[in-house]
Structure formats: C-alpha cells, structure tokens
A and B are shown apart, each in its own frame.
Chain A
Amino acid sequence: MAVIRMAFRYVRNEIFVLPTRVIAVLFVILLILLPLLTQDMYILRILAIAAIFSIYAASWDLLSGFVGQVSFGHALFFGVAAYTTALLNLRLGLSPVITIPLGAFAAVLVGLLVGIPCLRLKGPYLGLATLAFPIMLMGIIFVFPGFFGGELGISGITRLASSRLTEYYIAVVCMLVLCFIMWKITDSKIGIIFHAIREDEIAVRASGINTIKYKLLAFCLSGFFAGLAGGLYTHFLRIAGPSMLAVLMSFQAIIWAIFGGIVTIYGAVVGVFILYPTLEILRATAEYRMLIFALIVLLVLRVMPQGITTFTRDKLERECPRCKVRNTVTRKNCRVCSSDMR
C-alpha cells in the first residue's frame, strides 16, 4: 500500500503539476498501448520508422544542439552503421542482436575518425566540413560495387523480428530507452560542459576543461546513437542503400530536430513523430505532398522559430523568477518556493 501511495504521490507532485509532463507520459502510454487499438500493419510500420528516426534526430540534437557543432553530414553515422550491419548480417550471418551494436560501434569509430581531423575546425567550418564525409563514403561505395552493391545496396538481410508487432515494440522500446539515456546525458555533468562549449568555448577552455576531449566525446556518443538507429532501420527495411548517405538524409535530421526544438532531445522525438506521419498522410495529396510538407515546415517555423516543443512549453509553463522551477502558466505562486510568479 505504502509503495502505491508513494507512487501516486510522485505522479501527482511531479507529473500532474506540469502539462508538458502529462503530455509526455500520455504519449509514452499511447505508444505502448497502441497495438491494442489497431494492428494495422501500415500504421505500425510508420510509427516504428518514426521511432527509429527519432533516435537518429535526437542524436543529431545531442551533437549539434547541445555542443553547437551543427553537423551537415549526420547521414554518415547512419549510413556507416547501416552498411556495417547489413554486411555483417549478410556475409557472416550474425543475428541483429549482434550486428546492430557492432554497426553502432563502427559509427563510433567513424565519429572518432571524423572528429580528429575536424578538431582544428571551429564554428560553422566544422559543421560544413562534415557535409563532405558522407559524399566521400558514397564515392567509395561506388568504387567497390562488388562489395557494397553500388546503387542496388545490400539486400537479403534478416528481418528485425518475425512479426511486425514485435518489430514495432523493439523500435518503440529502443527509442524510449535510448532517448531517455541521451536526455540523462545532457542533464549530467558532461551535458553541462556540452552546453558550455556551445555558449562560449573560450571560457570553457579558460576554466581548465579539455574541450577537444569533450567534442570528440560528443562525436562518438552522437555517432553511437545514430548508428543504432541506422542498424535498426536496415534490419527493419532489410536493405542498406546509398540513399541512406544522401545529402537529403542529413538534412532530414536537421529538419526534424529543429522543427521539434533543439537542445531538448525530446524536441527531436516530437519533430519526427509530427513530421514523419504528416508526410505519410500527405500521400493522399499525390504530387502536392512535398510542397505542402515544406510549406507546413516553413509556416510553423515562421511562427515558432524556437521549435514546436519549446514554443508550446513556453506557452503552457513559466519559469519561477526566483528558484527557476517550471510552473503552469495559471499558477500565481511558484509551486516550490511560493514566490510571486508575476
């Protein structure tokens, strides 16, 4: 009984006090219970892919939003992991349980390789230089078409799980767990240093912190999570193809994350879960699909340039001027320190 009462109190005091937390909890519950409402294969597919892309977009946010290293070549991590996963599965017959982590590991190595030469670069130079890597890798794929399959990609891969429902749960659970980990990382000491590097790198270095080490760490972490997404996606679609390295693939991560709101992690998730299904619903409009999509992005960002989550949060909640705790807009006094909210 006591446990239940404690849990209830926690829920009442920590979740019900803030509308955004309620929305987040409802979203998670809905995702988990959704198969009870519908078993439509198409809906499950779209949401599973959205979950996988959420990891990818959030990993971009981790590197670009938090550390401020706007990466234009994020598809590199996704693609490297996808190809590694596919090759390991096809050539060595390893199961997805092994290939996906190994693929992510490969992405980490690539993150290091990219990070080291790029360490001398700063600001926009770094981000723009990263654009070059996926294109160079794509060149390599077409130099060795026998090994990488050229434009055909690598197909004939084991599926993620035997049924779509299991695949859905794998994707959703991975998304929830990995995004939670990313969120926790950004909340930790490392995360604070990441923040600081973005705000003022000179000041961080002046405080005796090795910023190079932390930037490399950011590249590796981001590569790891993007790599997991790449591996999951490959096994879900049963193909690794060169379009995973295309410029548009890199741009997609940026669009999702910024649309949702950067420097939040959950913003990336919201961005994907809004935009990806929207794009699918817009299939009904045939050739106007991408146009309407682009206009939606354009207009939403015009009204909410800080991203949809940040905008909504600021509309629903206010920060207490004294203790910096967030409160619902309707409150007159802070829920923690009771100071006047106006």
Chain B
Amino acid sequence: MTDTETDGKRFARSGRSDASGDSDASGRSWRPAPSWRPAIAMAGRNLRRNRIRTVLAVLGVCIGVLAVATLGIFGNVLALGADDAIGDVGTQIVLSPNADAGIESLSDADVAEIRRAVGEPAVIPLYTDGALVSGATDQTFTTVYGVEEPGLAFEAAEGRLPERHRQGAIVGAGIASDLGVGVGDTVEIEGAQIRIVAVLAETQTFSPVAPDDAVFLPESAFAADGYDQVLVVSESGGEAREAAESIRESVNAREDRVDIFELAALVDEIDEFFDLLGTFLLGLGAISLVVAGVSILNVMLMSTVERRQEIGVMRAVGIRKRDVLRVLLAEAGLIGAIGAVLGTVLTALIVLGFLFATPAETAVVLDPTNGYYLLLALVFGVGVGLISGAYPAWKAASERPVEALRD
C-alpha cells in the first residue's frame, strides 16, 4: 500500500496496455481522463437515462433564465429609452437676470464671468423678444432670439448654420412647416423682409428655449443693452450640474445675479426610478430562477436516491468520493448550463423579434449593456444548477458504501 508499490503497479499496467495498444479502442467516445472529462461523460449518460425528467428540469432553468434576461433587458431598454428622450433636458441650463435683485439684463461682463465659471460647456447668450412672423400665406406670433453662434447649440436640417450669424433668419422646424417656408424663402418680421439661411432640425427632446417654435436672428437685429438669457449646453447631465454649481459659487457668490433653470435633478429622479424598476423586474425574473433551482434539487435528490446502490458500487470499487461528487455536480451543472444556453438564445431571438415588431429604436435595443443581462442570466442559470446540485451530490457521495449496497 506504499507509494512505491502503487507506482510499481501503475508502471506495470501502462506497460501492458502499450503492448496491446493497437486494439479497436481508438474510436471509442468514452475515454477516462484525469480532469472533469470522465465525470461529464458519465453525467451526460445519466441525464439521458430519464430523458423526460431531464428535459423538464432543463425547461425550468430555461424559463428562469429567459425571465431574468428578458425582464432585465426590458427594464434596461426602458431606462435607455427614457434617457434618450429626456437626456438633453438635463444637459441644458438656462440663466436669466434676477429681476428680484433689480437686474434687468446680462452684460458682456456677466457673460464673460459665466464663461469663466463653467469652463468646458458652450455658453450662448441670447436676446429674446416676441414678434409676428409672416410667410407667403400664413403668419404666426413667435419667440425671436438674437444669437451670434447658433452652431454651438443647434443643428440645421436644411442649409448651413453660419459660424457667426451676421445676416438672414434661422427658423425652427415647427415654424418652417407652419408657414410653409424653406431655405431661400423670405419671411417678414416686424416689417422687415429677411431671407431664411437655414432651417433647424426638429429637436427630439424638451429644451428650455423651445427652438422648434422660434426664429433666430443676428444679434445686430436687436437694439437692447444686455442679454435676456444665457444658454449653457453641456455634454452630460453631470457636467451641467457642475456648471450650475460653479455659477452659484462665482457669479452668484455675493448676490443672486442670475436665476438658474436646470433640470438635472429631475433627470436624476427619473434615472433612480428606472433603476428601481429594473431591479424590481430582475427580482421577478430571479423568482422563477429560484423555482428552477428547486426543481433541479428535486431531480437530483430523486435520481441519487434511485441510484444509491450504483453510487455505492462506484465507491466500493475504489472511486474516490470527490470523483463521485464530480459526476453528480456535472449532472446538475449540465442541466443548468443547457437550460441557461437555451434561455439565452431564446431571449436573443425575442429581443430581435421585438426589434422588428415594434418601433423601438435599434440603438436602444442593441445597446451593449443588454448583453450584460444576457451574460448575467447565463451565469445565474449555471450557478443555480451547481448550487442546487451541491447538496444532493454531497449527500449521495458521502454515504458509506456499506450502507448504500445494503439491499
């Protein structure tokens, strides 16, 4: 029983098998190997023994994984879609003179101070007025802004936005369609005939300055002393919050010179709500995965009780407890893995179907973060299999062979 004796036997054995190594064994599928391979091969056969039971357990995991993945992705798509729709609300800040402090307008010095305070984000000072705008046939009363650098905040659908706005009118998409005018046409504003140089793209989101229903003229068209509004456009909600904070600390340090209109806080609230919704949906899915885990537990307990003698024989002929454990864990793991893969594939198909069947935006549905939920569900499925298989496997492998062999 010493090590040397063991080795001696081993060597003698391998020598003998070499001598007869040219038998028909080469094509056989089941080959003992040192790692998990023999355990997995045996586990696969054991699972095939009671196909219906195995299929039902796999189906349970499949449904659980499907629930986690689809509900997770659903929540994520809702959150991404909402972000997409309201995202810009949080990135724009509108500053206006604080009338309560007796400030009627913002001077160039104020604008310069605001620029220093916010740093990176674009600062666009605006003159604001209301005016009657007439096209060839229709007319409408609308907001008219005076702006020098429209390209910093807006995008053109037709024509080109000038770097410095010197002449001509830029009209919002809503006004252009209301009046039936386009680039090259002329509109009449307060008696002056002005050519349209660009039509703005329709904005997808709510913006505090409502550019769709506004006309933008050069600053020179206004005779006012100071600006009525300053628009601060940031890249992200976080940047907008920082900008607002800097303005409070510098421009408004001594007295509240400007009123700050920001929606970042509201956006935060909405984000929090969607996070909660996503967690809630994931939780719903997780319940079905737990149910699947219980079904694996049941299947494994039943099949190990049925195979009690068989496991006893394996232990009696010298198979180690840990190898028996591997076989049984591989069975539970295989159920989990197959169910998880099926559930993941099914989820991917459902998401693709969703893409074709509804007008949801492609970018939102195919967002890489959705893949994270697929991966999460896959890992959960395999994990549930291993965890619920652990107890029955341990119990069966630990039974003394003398007990298991007793009829």
Q: Do A and B bind each other?
A: no
Residues in chain A within 8 A of chain B (CB atoms): none
